[in-house]
Amino acid sequence: MKLICELTESVDYELIEEGAGKSKQYFIEGIFMQSEQKNKNGRIYPKEVLQKEVNRYVKEYVEPKRAFGELGHPDGPTVNLDRVSHMITELVEDGKNFIGRAKILDTPNGQIVKSLIDEGARLGVSSRGMGTLKPEKRAQIVQDDFYLATAADIVADPSAPNAFVEGIMEGVEWVWDNGLLKAQDVERAKTNIQKASSKQLEEVKLKEFKNLLSNL
Which residues does the annotation mark as catalytic?
A: 73, 126
**3-state SS assignment for residue 189:** helix
**CB-based burial, 39-62: b 16+ in 10 Å, e otherwise:** bebebbbeeebbeebbeebbeebb
Going 133 to 136 to 141 to 143, the CA torsion angle's sign is negative
The Cα diameter of the chain in Å comes to: 69
At residue 178, the 3 state secondary structure works out as coil
- Which of 151, 138, 146, 140 is CA-nearest to residue 30? 151
Contact 52, 142 (CB under 8 A): no
Burial of 153: CB neighbours in 10 Å, binned 0-12, 13-18, 19+:
buried
Strand residue runs (E) in 61-132: 68-70, 84-94, 97-104, 123-131
